[in-house]
Structure 1
Amino acid sequence: MHATVTDHRTDVAVLKLKGELDSDTSAQLHDLLAQLLERPVPRIVVDLSALHFCDSVGLSAFVTAKQVITARGGWMSFAGANRFLVDLLDTVGLSRYFAIFAEVDDAIAAAQI
């Protein structure tokens, strides 16, 4: 997995994931999320448009981060998920837990409402 973080506006970070997120690459995701969670009020859009696979270890990292983010008054949403990831999030019930948007810009715009 390859990951990059870009800031949009002054308060929203976009975490773009590329490749496969699994037990071999989840430590990298944990490290990135830990850095983003150091922000006073974390607001994160996870761009899944280039992520081809995610297993339960990856999903667990997102759930754990969301719990911390919510406790701090922030939010985390997903954008650009392919059909596999949308179906996976639906199947495990996380589509009710995370906002999922078609595009990163849609997720950022929704945050301004």
Structure 2
Amino acid sequence: MPRRLTPAPADQLAAARTAYDAGSATPADLRLLVKHHLAVLQERAPGNSVEVRIPPYAAIQCIAGVRHTRGTPPAVIETDAETWLALATGRLAWADGLGSGRVRASGERTDLASYLPL
């Protein structure tokens, strides 16, 4: 079973957010922020019916419903790290991310609007 993500420690999160906001985030800062926000989503929307993918950093399963165990899940959301962080922090609305093509979502229960921003 894959290891569940956990939110980042407050001091590391603050340092990564500061670097990100200043435009000087390192790949390690981006990884920490992406994984942190995915962990928060997983806590707020527990379940296994939707897979959220932020390559190359991480993927989680969340939202209650039918669980999948093998192969490509029936409900998938995928985006890049910058878009995920914009969604998670409220800098980009879910509908705008979908409309612009920055977010790809297919299947049932893939509307994250009620969970964002984190």
Superposed pair shares fold, TM > 0.5? no
Bigger relative contact order (CA 8 A; separation at least 6) = 1
TM-score w.r.t. structure 1 length?
A: 0.29
TM-score by length of 2: 0.29
Task: Look at both structures and tell me which one has the larger radius of gyration over its CA atoms.
Answer: 2
